[in-house]
Structure 1
Amino acid sequence: MIGIPRLFLAEDAHHRGELRVLKQLPGLIAVLRDGGFTDDESLRWMYQEDPTLPGRPVDALHGHLAREVLRRAQALGF
């Protein structure tokens, strides 16, 4: 069975109680793939603790640091 990790979802602001894929997630996945990451490597990177963030990149996608996560992912490809 294939599923979507709960941390990849957020409550839909327009439909109370419904969940939607995080706005930044498709772009982050594309950036990591373009940088040569496999799906497994991308998941590992998103869930790995980052001492320079408050937690893990996947946690930061839920707040004001989402753009910083994308920027860091872009830098990994170079």
Structure 2
Amino acid sequence: MTAHDKIQTEWLSIPDVADLLGETPGRVRRLLDENALVASRREGPLKIPAVFFLDGEVLSSLRGTIFVLNDAGFDDDGTIDWLLTPEESIGVAPIEALRAGRKAEVRRVAATLL
């Protein structure tokens, strides 16, 4: 898959996410530290894909999925890339499946990446 295959998403800064969640930037950093969220610095300041949020909250199934991917050896950029890139065995990008409530299926595929 190439970068062009990834789903398109807005990228939010820490202050943007704090505003979205009604939290402080410090709390957003704790969410990152706790693997409830994952962010990238590949294009400058730390940014988080907007698609990781649903109805003004962090997608609840994201944290456990991040842990599975970390266990498989993925770094933050690799985790984001995997979540945003269509996965043949799922039929859509994993983040789209998570947003549709297909957490078990996504984690099952992620676990095979070990």
* TM-score grouping bracket, smaller chain normalisation: 0.7 to 0.9
Cα displacement (A) at 1:50: 1.8
Q: Distance in 2 between matches of 1:36 and 1:4?
A: 20
Greater C-alpha radius of gyration: 2
* TM-score under structure 2 length normalisation: 0.55
Cα displacement (A) at 1:72: 1.0
Cα displacement (A) at 1:64: 3.2
1:55 aligns to 2:92 (yes or no)? yes
1:9 paired residue number? 53
Q: Tell me, what secondary structure is at the counterpart of 2:112?
A: helix
Structure 1 residues 43 and 33, CA gap change in structure 2 (3 angstroms): same
Q: Distance in 2 between matches of 1:76 and 1:63?
A: 22
* TM-score under structure 1 length normalisation: 0.77
Cα displacement (A) at 1:9: 0.5
Structure 1 residues 74 and 52, CA gap change in structure 2 (3 angstroms): closer
Cα displacement (A) at 1:33: 0.7
Q: Tell me, what secondary structure is at the counterpart of 1:76?
A: coil
Is the 8 Å Cα contact of residues 90 and 105 (structure 2) preserved in structure 1?
no
